[in-house]
Chain A
Amino acid sequence: MLVGTRKGAFVLTSDGKRQDWTVDGPHFGGWEMYHVKGSPVNPDRIYASQTSGWFGQLIQRSDDGGKSWEPVGNKFTYEGEVGEHLWYDGTLRPWEWQRVWHLEPSLTDAETVYAGAEDAALFRSTDGGQNWGELTALRQHDSAPWWQPGAGGMCLHTIIQDPSNPQRMFIAISAAGAFRTDDGGESWTPINQGLNSEGIPDPDAKVGHCVHRIALHRSNPDVLYMQKHWDVMRSDNAGDSWVEVSGNLPSDFGFPIDVHAHEPETIYVVPIKSDSEHFPPDGKLRVYRSKTGGNEWEALTSGLPQSDCYVNVLRDAMAVDSLDECGIYFGTTGGQVYGSADGGDNWEPIVRDLPPVLSVEVQTLS
């Protein structure tokens, strides 16, 4: 398990039983590690986004499964006309580089990796992170001047490659919404029809929605699940339209959403009380599971704190493994990483006292 935190990265390792874990780290102690993710082609190849308010952005690369690291390219350039977007006060403001939120290694080539940035833009490296180029069509989309930052900044935080179509990719930006390309990034279409956001002037606007996370199952890539700022949503047509599937959730605000490794209709969210109270309802940390692709949800509480718990779970901090009995993992802003080796029925803390967890990824190694 690759865990990014506010003060370093940690590599957690277990065998297939997933009962006993070793904790290796911190790597890059003191730095914000927004995301650490391995290549599905070569799991020894891991990319990490290392950032600091003092010293800026670095990208680290490991070729031995996280035992050792080397800094690679950190030169990210908004190419062409930089452009402007809406700022909090209604004025226009030029794009300004902040950091890489998310790294998504290619499904087919260990040297290729995508980076989602704040201020929102999509970058790609085809040489293992040494050199980065922007896929400019996204930032130069006609709607871009109307994008504006969410409370966490105007970040491109979700990158999903369609495993059945190398030309298709989905991305999400807070607070612009979700976009899809069907031509390898040459052009992008907003896919926000059906989203309804009361926090924006036109609740069903084409762009401007605060999408927190999107997930899909590789066997059924036309079905997308979304945790929006408020509302859990589902699309059965690759994002062309969405319907709400919040159903009986105690709150439909939250950040992560993920899909069971072997059951495409089994999904997980962590309800959070509200956008002004970033903690679980009633002080109870509950993962909610739907085995029907939404609408009907059950609380998973065994092993999770059910009183006096006021942590948050951030959007990149949930992951699943691909063992026969699917494991589910998430990290909290309180520094706990919880794991379930039985699809969410029972949970145990794997480690309790890390710095606030920003991201969790899992590699299932043979």
Chain B
Amino acid sequence: MIEVVLPAHLRRLAEVDGSVQLEIDGAVTQRTVLDALEARYPMLEGTIRDHHTKKRRAFVRFFACKEDLSNESPDEPLPEEVASGKEPYLVVGAMAGG
């Protein structure tokens, strides 16, 4: 089971409290996690990744195990700690503004 932590705005949009638990069949990558997240919560489509290109929106970041994975390939396997559910996959609204 993968644990995904969403920023507050997206938790409210998806009407979830706390983190999201996702079951992933096959490889656990950023792409498969986000695909599963959007399949469960279709209202999140377009808010994290562009609808068409599936690229990360500029002010959204992805963290896990104290690492910034935002610019890693979406098809690289996520760390074992994330795949095993020990550590969460964090979707973060980037700090921006004054």
Q: Which residues of A contact B (CB under 8 A)?
A: 30-31, 52-58, 71, 74-75, 77
**What are the residues of chain A within 8 A of B96 when measuring CB–CB?**
53-54
Interface segment out of the listed B18-26, B40-48, B82-90: B40-48
Q: 20 A-B pairs, CB-CB below 8 angstroms?
A: A31-B9, A52-B9, A53-B96, A54-B9, A54-B59, A54-B96, A55-B57, A55-B60, A57-B46, A58-B43, A58-B46, A58-B47, A71-B13, A71-B43, A74-B45, A74-B46, A74-B51, A75-B45, A75-B46, A77-B51
- The complex places the Cα of A56 from the Cα of B44 at a distance, in Å, of 10
Report if B66 contacts A (CB, 8 A): no
Q: Which of A31, A71, A75 has the most CB of B within 10 A?
A: A71
Number of A-B contacts (CB under 8 A): 40
Among B46, B48, B57, the most chain A Cβ lie within 10 Å of the Cβ of B46
Is the beta-carbon distance between A54 and B94 smaller than 8 angstroms?
yes
Q: Kindly state the separation between the CA atoms of A128 and B47 in the bound complex, as whole angstroms.
A: 20
- Closest B-chain residue to A53, C-beta based? B59
The total of chain B residues at the interface (CB under 8 A) is 17
- Tell me the dominant secondary structure on chain B's binding face: loop
Q: Which residues from chain A contact B10 at a C-beta distance below 8 Å?
A: 55
Q: Given A30, A52, A75, which contacts B51 in the complex, CB threshold below 8 Å?
A: A75
A189 to B49, CA, bound (A): 36
Candidate in A53, A56, A74 with the most chain B CB atoms within 10 angstroms: A56
Main SS at interface, chain A = loop
Q: Which of B36-66 contact A (CB under 8 A)?
A: 43, 45-48, 51-52, 57, 59-60
- With A54-B59, A54-B60, A74-B51 already in contact, 18 other A-B pairs whose C-beta atoms are closer than 8 Å: A31-B9, A54-B9, A54-B57, A54-B93, A54-B94, A55-B9, A55-B47, A55-B60, A55-B93, A56-B47, A56-B57, A58-B13, A58-B43, A58-B47, A74-B45, A74-B46, A77-B51, A77-B52
Chain B residues positioned under 8 Å from A75 (CB to CB)? 45-46, 51
Give the residues in chain B near A54, CB-CB below 8 Å. Answer: 7, 9, 57, 59-60, 93-94, 96
Q: Which chain A positions have C-beta within 8 A of B51?
A: 74-75, 77
Question: Which A-B residue pairs are the 3 nearest by beta carbons?
Answer: A55-B47, A71-B43, A54-B59
Within 8 Å CB of B7, what residues of A? 54
Q: How far is the CB of B55 from chain A (nearest CB, A)?
A: 12
Chain A residues contacting B13 (CB-CB under 8 Å) are 55, 58, 71
C-alpha gap A71/B42 in the complex (Å): 9
